[in-house]
Amino acid sequence: MSLTIDKDAFGHALLDFLHTENDRISVVVERNDGYVDVSMIHPYFSNFSEWPVSEKKAIKYVKGRVLDVGCGAGRNALYLQGKGLDVLGIDISSLAIKVCKHRGVKKARVLSFTEVNSKLGKFDTVLMFGNNFGLFENSRRAKWLLKRLFKLTSKSGKIIAETLDPYKTDKPEHLRYHKLNRKRGRMAGQVRIRLRYKKFINPWFDYLFVSKKEMEIILKDTGWEVSRFIGDGSAVYIAIIEKKKLLE
C-alpha cells in the first residue's frame, strides 16, 4: 500500500534535495510519546566513499539478484547496478521511486514490504540497509515475513539487514519509553513514529529496533539464522542472515 503524495513527508524531502542539494534538508521524526528528533536527508544520496564502514563491509556479501527494501533515493541500487547486479528497489513512497528513476535506478517500484510475492521472481539477496530491519514492525509480523522471504529467495539466499540496539542508551527519555512499551506488551524497541516535513505529515507507523539476542529469537523457526554480525561497537549493527540448511 503506497503513501498518498499529500502524506509523504519523506518523499517530498527527497525530491527537494534532488532539486536543490541542500545539505540542511531534514525530516522531523516524532515518536508517540512526544519525543522528537531530526533525520538528515543527504545520507540517502551519499556515494559509496561516504558510507559507514560497516555498510562497506556488508555490501560485499550481496550476490545475484537483489531486492532493495525501502530503497529511498536509490543509493544502494545505483552502487550495485554499477557492479553489474540485477536490482529491484521497492518503496511505499511514489516520490522516492520518482527520485530513484531520475537518478538512474533501472528497476524501482512502488510496493510495500508485505506486497512482495512470487510474481516478482526469486531473489538471491534481500537488502535492508538504513535500519530497515525496522520495517518488520514487530516480532509476529517479522516471523511471518521472514517465512515468506524464505520461499521467495534462492537456495543460497540471504538477508542483509541493518538495525539499532535500543538498549545501548542511557537517555532517560528512551529508558522510560522502553518501560512504557513493555507495560503495553510491546518489545522495548518497538517504536511508533511519524515523519514531518514542511506541511506534510506521514501516518503513524511501527518501526522495530532489536538487540542481537532479540534478532536471533525472532529468526527462530523461520528457516533463517545469523551467520555474522558487522559493527563498530556502536548501537548500529548489520546482520548477515542466511538459510539454516546452508550452515548445518
Element (H, E) at 195: strand 190-197
DSSP state of 72: T
Please state the pTM of the whole predicted model: 0.95
Contacts of 23 (CB under 8 A, 6+ apart): 40, 42
Q: Which residues contact 174 (CB under 8 A, 6 or more apart)?
A: 35, 166
Shortest CA distance to 142 belongs to which of 58, 212, 207?
Answer: 207
With the C-alpha atoms ordered 144, 145, 151, 156, is the resulting torsion angle positive or negative?
Answer: negative
Q: What is the pLDDT along the chain (248 residues), one digit of tens a residue?
A: 679 999 999 999 999 999 999 999 999 999 999 999 999 999 999 999 999 999 999 999 999 999 999 999 999 999 999 999 999 999 999 999 999 999 999 999 999 999 999 999 999 999 999 999 999 999 999 999 999 999 999 999 999 999 999 999 999 999 999 999 999 999 999 999 999 999 999 999 999 999 999 999 999 999 999 999 999 999 999 999 999 964 44
Rg (CA), the chain: 17
Of 36, 44, 37, nearest to 15 (Cα)?
44
List the grid coordinates of 235: 548501537
The CATH number of the domain covering residues in 52-189+206-246? 3.40.50.150
Amino acid 2: pLDDT? 77
Please give the DSSP secondary-structure letter assigned to residue 2: P
Give me the phi and psi of 160, to 5 degrees please: -115, 110
